[in-house]
Amino acid sequence: MSLQTTETVGHVPESCDLTLVEAVNLALARAMTEDPDVVLLGEDIGLNGGVFRATQGLQQQFGRERVMDTPLAEALIAGTAIGMATQGLKPVAEIQFMGFIFPAMEQLVTHAARLRNRTRGRLHCPLVIRAPFGGGIHAPEHHSESTEALFAHIPGLRVVIPSSPRRAYGLLLSAIDNPDPVIFLEPKRLYRALKQPLSDDGARLPLDTVFILREGHDMTLVSWGACIQETLAAAQELEQRGISAEVIDVATVSPLDMDSIRASVEKTGRCVIIHEAARSGGIGADISARLSEQSLDLLQAPVIRVTGFDTPMPYFRQELLYLPQVADIVAAADQCMSYR
């Protein structure tokens, strides 16, 4: 099942234009209002409102017991969230940047992901780890990586990546509702890059499906996170040249809604996957492998990936060389179309 959506919504009463980071803030406030068990913890999230202001005003609104500044210790933040979750709270923890999530990795992999499985369902772990990720904002070293594939490889975790304010709002509410651990990665390049009309109606978006942002019949462009912007722009450019590209925002990269991707590629026969994470062992590789396993007959061209490289993310002066740009996607699309 895939969900079709448009990037603009019609007239929604009492809606206002919000950025992605404002949508995150709105969803957090909504979840905390709806459910007293939802608590927030993380570094600088209290009075300071988080370094990106995602939690701005929430401590003032909900109190210090529910919006907790933690000591500077990421393993502890994850471990504490797990302990809280086992006792019935629904913690939403912020890791300040995804580049600093690695001390928390052990807790997420060895505990959060498998608590339900190893206790045969008697304990579970309803927590959300939010982390800004990805490049493109000229941040210092270690602040720009995209390592979603590391988490997607771990059974028991969900990895969710919004790419618009509306999806940030609806997907975050679903992530908090979800009784299992969710890694919620926020593309920080998009935090303030675009606004969408959004009403605080509490409407959830599903975590088990991709979003078809644009219909097309010549090829399928599959992406997620901030790269969706370049992918949509590339689709626009291709259209002007008579190539009709379907654009899929994967959104939940694990577990992966492969049925919808396959259905689209079986329709178009061609697929280009775009992600800014390193190339090898990435989610693009997995999608490509599964298309070749299950849809080879229907493919009219090899699946092509436009990705970052297997290098450290360069320092910001050269980060655009690493990040897929519109021209790179268009070139890959041309290559895909011209294959015979």
Contacts to other proteins by CB under 8 A = 39, 65-66, 68, 70-71, 73, 75-76, 78-89, 91, 103, 106-107, 110-111, 115-124, 155-156, 158, 178-180, 208, 255-259
Rounded least distance, CB 201 to other proteins, Å: 24
Pick between residue 88 and residue 242 the one whose CB is nearest to other proteins.
Answer: 88
State which residue, 71 or 242, has the beta carbon closest to other proteins. Answer: 71
* C-alpha dihedral sign at 71, 74, 76, 81: positive
Q: Are 289 and 268 in contact (CB under 8 A)?
A: no
The residue (of 60 and 110) whose beta carbon lies closer to other proteins is: 110
By C-beta, is 126 or 136 nearer to other proteins?
Answer: 126
User: Judged by CB, which is closer to other proteins: 157, or 336?
Assistant: 157
In whole angstroms, the minimum distance from the beta carbon of 288 to other proteins comes to 16
C-alpha gyration radius of the chain = 20
How far, in Å, CA of 41 to CA of 70, rounded? 6
**Of residues 112 and 306, the one with the C-beta less far from other proteins:** 112
For 113, the 3-state DSSP assignment is coil
Report in angstroms how near the CB of residue 84 gets to other proteins at its nearest.
Answer: 4
**DSSP secondary structure letters along 147-188:** -HHHHHTSTT-EEE---SHHHHHHHHHHHHH-SS-EEEEEEG
Q: How far apart are CA 139 and CA 334, in angstroms?
A: 33
How far is C-alpha 245 from the chain's CA centre? 22
Q: Is the dihedral of CA 76, 136, 151, 156 positive or negative?
A: positive
Structure tokens at 184: 């919620």
Using alpha carbons, select from 162, 95, 166 the residue that is nearest to residue 128: 95
Taking every pair of Cα atoms in the chain, the longest distance, rounded to a whole number of angstroms, is 63
CB of 80 to other proteins, least distance (A): 4
Task: Provide the minimum distance between the beta carbon of 158 and other proteins in the complex, in angstroms, as a whole number.
Answer: 8
Catalytic center residues: 143
* CA–CA dist 180, 28 (Å, integer): 17
Q: Could you tell me the smallest distance in angstroms from the CB atom of residue 59 to other proteins?
A: 14
Beta bridge partners of 229: none
